[in-house]
Amino acid sequence: MNRKSKKGQVVGKSAKTISVLIERTRKHPKYFKMVKIHRRILAHDEGQSAQLLDFVEIVETKPISKQKSWVLKEIIK
């Protein structure tokens, strides 16, 4: 079974947790215009290696806490 992965930018940081902003585009159903959709996901960062404004890749995992079910895979930039 493949794990889902997403790429985004780190916009928040606390102890062992990063907040990643995921941005995607889709077509509006009525007006057929491309619309940006933003979503913030909390991800686990054990090594605390990610800094603010880093571009990272996260993967889905079993729930770590009430809000965290993603883990940092790698720092891209």
63: domain CATH number is: 2.40.50.140
Is residue 59 within 8 Å of residue 3, measured between CB atoms?
yes
pTM of the entire structure? Answer: 0.88
Domain extent, residue 24, equals 5-75
Split into its structural domains, the chain has a count of 1
Cα–Cα distance for residue pair 77/74, rounded to 1 Å: 9
- Percentages helix, strand, coil for the chain (3-state, rounded to 5) are 0, 55, 45
Q: With contact defined as beta carbons under 8 Å apart, do 70 and 45 qualify?
A: no
Write out pLDDT tens, residues 43-74. 999 999 999 999 999 999 999 999 999 999 99
